[in-house]
Structure 1
Amino acid sequence: MAQDKKAMDIKRINTIRELKESGYRPRSIKEELRENLIKKLQAQEETFSGIVGYEETVIPDVERALLSKHNILFLGLRGQAKTRMARQMTALLDEWIPVVAGSDINDDPLAPLSRYSKELIAEKGDDAPIEWIHRSQRYGEKLATPDVTVADLIGDVDPIKAANLRLSFADERVIHYGIIPKSNRGIFVINELPDLQARIQVALFNILEEGDVQIRGFKLRLPLDILFVFTANPEDYTNRGSIVTPLKDRIQSQILTHYPKSLEDALAITEQEADLGDRQKESVAVSDLVKRLIEQVAFEARASEFVDKKSGVSARLTISAFENAVSAAERRALVNREDNTQVWISDLVGIIPSITGKIELVYEGEQEGPYQVAMNLLNKAIRTQFAQYFPNPETLKKRAPRKGAAPEPVENPYKAITGWFDKGNHLNLLFGLNDRDKINALYAVDGLHALVKKTFGHANEKEAALLMEFVLHGLASYSLISKKILDTSVEFKDLMGSMFTMPTAADEEDEEEDFN
């Protein structure tokens, strides 16, 4: 309410005279950001909202840079919220500021820079009109691409303006300002700075240091009031281009960004960013287990020998994967005419397109193939998380012996399950199976339900069934049973039997993946 009243009050101020009478005091954008940041810090208010995992690392670095009135370079791999951080800086600006009415470069009424504003004020004096711009209008952004020109960024002579105003090309009024001068008294961001040609980067030197702007022979002294924020990927320095040294020297603070360091932070980011409709939220339940498996895929990808670490694995992978997993369950429920369902482990086959489209492979990965690499990452995620929920099969072989004693055998909680498969039984779970039939099929495996109830006694029927399915996938990831992903189903068998059974031509045609 107070903000609405303030907006109404300032809009009653329409001339320079009224502005002076209001007590307005000009200040640079860097002073403005610094003073507003100080107020937020003193009030212990959140400075950057929705930025998870940077509370103790990146955000303090940014705050220190703004307090120092520095231009900033965010250096990090893709999907590390670099541009998002820059865009959120507008929240630290004053909500409204006055500018000379009609000015191309947001001239301060009490400290004009452009010839247009100076002439207008010289003609009308304190009756010169002003207007107010919102902080959302004080943000400019440009993606650096090889085709960006000096004219795009700084400006050029406009022959149409010269013809309409009947001016010679020697007149300063024929200049058409580029995006940087038009961002005066605002925040200007150049994304992927190394992609900018070296000669274009050179044009930024004096703007950052002195405020001089050179346009087609015009020597202009425009001390532009801009906070510059640049973003770059470390790999870009050697892959596509580089930041020229004199320009880098003029960027006072270089801030390193990073991927989520913990699974909890990754979960919070995906939960915050995933775009699910109300229908999906109501009809599809997603367990904490499934969410963790999806996040674990990204962690496995970042450590994989098949994935290019220099390119990075964006948080967008898990966001897209989460949305695909929910949609896979929703589609199955719609086909089966079920009102509600949950995301099963087998539904995670539906996240493969989200993985293959978000990772860059090294040569060895290309040899394996994107689909194979994606399936292996999913399998590794299952293996890693399985040990967090159930006894680790690797530690069940033999207990470490005491000195001079024979190794003690350890009771195997999976013996009944593997024994069932050893008897020649197999389980074929169709991807489109309805929930009731899937639960019934899982209960047919000896020892499976007993293991889950012993470990998770509080789980209800559907939760227990999901954990039962997870156990089968987990045992397969530890090579205790065999798992094959076919076109329409996932098939579990005993490990030795599947190794010695000769596949038929139909099997070879249908089989897409064997994790083991």
Structure 2
Amino acid sequence: MKKEITFKELKDSGYTHKTINQEIQANLIARIKAKEPVFEGLWGYEDTVVPQLKKAILAGHHINLLGLRGQAKTKIARSMVNLLDEYMPVVKGSEINDSPFQPISKYARDLIEEHGDETMISWVHRSDRFFEKLATPDVNVADLIGDIDPIKAATLKLPYSDERVLHYGMIPRANRCIFVLNELPDLQARIQVALFNILQEGDIQIRGFQLRMPLDIQFVFTANPEDYTNRGSIVTPLKDRIGSQIFTHYPKTIALARQITEQEALISKEDKAQIQVPGLAKDLLEEVAFAARDSEYVDAKSGVSARLTISAMENLMAAAKLRLIESDAEKTTVRLLDFLSVIPSVTGKIELVYEGEQEGADHVAKILIDKAVMTQFEMIFPRIPKLEKEGIKAPYTDVIKWFNKNSLELNFDDTDQEFYAKLNSVKPLSEIIGEYADQLSPEDQNFCKELILWALTINNKLDKSENEKAFTFDSAGIGKYYSS
């Protein structure tokens, strides 16, 4: 915390007053010239959202971030705090962060008039210059702008006509700060109207008080597309006063999606050391989200949040951790079987259309996992033919024949040694891996063996039965009874 100083000492230090726009712009320009990252951790936005943000800041605009859920809108807004100066001088005791150079409250004006250069100046850290409000339906004008405080009037023995009886709301208290209003369409239209003058003219009205108060605020709004939300919309005159509207989007590649999940998932260092996650398992997790965004069972207007894969990764690691605890092993590797543990993460993050509701959330989640499995499978291995041509041996014929005489039970709580010993007992799997996936790491190769079995069951070449403890793979239908 910086030491309090007098107004004279502040002026002697060479400090000059800057508006919040000038402050953010100066720090943005400095970062760009120094080739430093401006918005860190926003993967996939480098060539789309970030350039638009830079232009909006340089233009001095208020910003509306428009996008579906889980597209880092709030993260973008919060990251703008890093473009503020580390400390900001304010008149000590001011409720609304008055600048000593341009005081706007009666308290600060009277104090400077009385003490002049001896007025005490305190400092506000950039972390305290971020205000955020979720636009719930119960928000009212008093919350945002202010109201008359009868207790203050009685305590100070002041009439209601005195400006000092006002209790400032969140917006005046965010003077010289960043103010984020999340889910703007949820804000009632009459409350949105109250923002008109603040955004344009800079004056506020509280219970009949007409205060010419030029608030210095960087507004950032977030909203879902209006054609999605059924709860309200942004009134046109308010939208007209917001300088830049920037559309966000989901990651466009699996690699970018993986970076986001790895950055955001809360995984302890201890768990990372004990639990190995094959690269293909990470990719498959992202494929589930991509499959959901393209699924006919999922409401596309609602979107599929990036939180789906973040939560799913945490569940995936939890499943592996539980196995470690129960088996008393030191290390384990995530398996395809563990993906059943991500179903609660999927069902809680998607909104289903009518057809999806008929299928049921759990069943839709399994369909999405199956679709992701097939997408990943076909990137590595040849497609599974629906019918085998006579005299032509398909790549998976030997695997299918193996199951005509055998079955394979894979337990969730098997140690890695037990689990992979069972998988390796299916010799034809190793032959397929050697032909098509020899370049992959040993962990990915083991994962591929499960991938092949899963893909064969999806294509009805094998049967798969499931209970609370294990998966059993067997010959499809009654084929095993007629095997040679």
- The amino acid that maps onto 2:241 is R
* Cα pair 2:278 2:443 within 8 Å, conserved: no
**2-side partners of 1:295 and 1:461: how far apart?**
21
**2-side partners of 1:58 and 1:249: how far apart?**
21
**2-side partners of 1:435 and 1:272: how far apart?**
27
Deviations 1:281-306 (A, max 9, x none): 11111000111111100000001111
Deviations 1:248-307 (A, max 9, x none): 000010000000000000011111111111221111110001111111000000011111
- Where 2:477 maps in the other structure, the secondary structure is helix
**1-side partners of 2:129 and 2:269: how far apart?**
34
Q: Residues 293 and 462 (structure 1 numbering): CA distance in 2 closer, same or farther, change over 3 Å?
A: closer
Aligned-pair CA distance for 1:191: 0.1
* Cα pair 1:235 1:311 within 8 Å, conserved: no
- The amino acid that maps onto 1:70 is H
Q: What residue number does 2:414 align with?
A: 433
Q: What residue number does 1:511 align with?
A: none
Q: TM-score, normalised by structure 2?
A: 0.95
Aligned-pair CA distance for 1:333: 2.0
**2-side partners of 1:114 and 1:237: how far apart?**
41
* Cα pair 2:274 2:331 within 8 Å, conserved: yes
Q: What residue number does 1:170 align with?
A: 161
**2-side partners of 1:499 and 1:183: how far apart?**
73
**2-side partners of 1:236 and 1:21: how far apart?**
55
Which sits farther off after the overlay, 484-493 or 125-134? 484-493
Match of 1:97 among 88, 92, 111: 88
* Cα pair 2:298 2:352 within 8 Å, conserved: yes
- Where 2:5 maps in the other structure, the secondary structure is coil
Q: What residue number does 2:50 align with?
A: 59
- The amino acid that maps onto 2:471 is V
**2-side partners of 1:264 and 1:194: how far apart?**
33
- % identical aligned pairs: 53
Match of 1:304 among 295, 305, 310: 295
Q: Residues 302 and 409 (structure 1 numbering): CA distance in 2 closer, same or farther, change over 3 Å?
A: farther
Match of 1:443 among 424, 434, 447: 424
Q: Which blocks of at least 5 consecutive residues in structure 2 are unaligned?
A: none
Q: Residues 462 and 172 (structure 1 numbering): CA distance in 2 closer, same or farther, change over 3 Å?
A: closer
Aligned-pair CA distance for 1:477: 2.4
Question: Number of residue pairs matched?
Answer: 482
**2-side partners of 1:317 and 1:499: how far apart?**
40
Q: What residue number does 1:416 align with?
A: 398
**2-side partners of 1:59 and 1:349: how far apart?**
36
Aligned-pair CA distance for 1:471: 1.3
**1-side partners of 2:413 and 2:310: how far apart?**
24
Alignment of 1:92-491 (within 5 A): 92-235=83-226, 238-394=229-385, 411-421=393-403, 423-457=404-438, 463-491=444-472
* Cα pair 1:453 1:464 within 8 Å, conserved: no
Alignment of 1:21-32 (within 5 A): 21-32=12-23
Deviations 1:320-345 (A, max 9, x none): 11111111112112211111110111
Q: What residue number does 1:3 align with?
A: none
Which sits farther off after the overlay, 470-479 or 149-158? 470-479
**1-side partners of 2:27 and 2:36: how far apart?**
11
Q: Residues 218 and 463 (structure 1 numbering): CA distance in 2 closer, same or farther, change over 3 Å?
A: closer
Q: TM-score, normalised by structure 1?
A: 0.90
Aligned-pair CA distance for 1:19: 1.5
* Cα pair 1:235 1:310 within 8 Å, conserved: no
**1-side partners of 2:392 and 2:38: how far apart?**
54
**1-side partners of 2:466 and 2:386: how far apart?**
27
**1-side partners of 2:256 and 2:305: how far apart?**
14
**1-side partners of 2:228 and 2:401: how far apart?**
56
Q: Which blocks of at least 5 consecutive residues in structure 1 are unaligned?
A: 1-6, 399-407, 502-516
- The amino acid that maps onto 1:81 is A
| CA RMSD after TM alignment | 2.1
Aligned-pair CA distance for 1:426: 2.0
Which sits farther off after the overlay, 27-36 or 491-500? 491-500
**2-side partners of 1:214 and 1:341: how far apart?**
63
Deviations 1:42-90 (A, max 9, x none): 1111000011000000000100000000000000000100011001101
* Cα pair 1:326 1:343 within 8 Å, conserved: yes
Deviations 1:213-246 (A, max 9, x none): 0000111000100011000001466511010000
- The amino acid that maps onto 1:419 is K
